[in-house]
Amino acid sequence: MDQNPPAKPKDASPDRDDRIEDFLARHGGRSAKAVRNAESQGGTVGWSEVYASDGYTLRCDWSSFGSREEMTYSEIAPGAHP
């Protein structure tokens, strides 16, 4: 029997690290601003953001309901972030 809990969607994407590396390469590397993230108390929805040195933000919104997992990536231009 497997004792390990299933991976959360934010950790499950095989291309997540590739997306982040590509984003940072196109936008001048990582910003000094810390990565931010949050999730619901139940761990069913959440988001994370990575910041580039040119002011762009890569945001990943994720959700997990039963066996359905979704991830949506958005690149947000400087000044367009709420």
**Structure confidence at residue 14 (pLDDT):** 57
In this predicted model, what pLDDT tens digit does every residue of 7-63 receive, in sequence order? 444 444 558 889 999 999 999 999 999 999 999 978 899 999 999 999 999 999 999
**Structure confidence at residue 13 (pLDDT):** 57
- What is the band of 4 on the pLDDT scale with cuts at 50, 70, 90? very low
Name the residue with higher pLDDT: 82 or 3. 82
8-state DSSP, 25: H
Q: Where are the domains of the chain?
A: 9-76
Distance, in Å, from the CA atom of 65 to the CA atom of 41, rounded to the nearest integer, reads 14
Q: Please, are residues 5 and 32 in contact by the beta-carbon 8 Å criterion?
A: no
Is pTM beyond 0.85? Reply is no
**Structure confidence at residue 56 (pLDDT):** 97
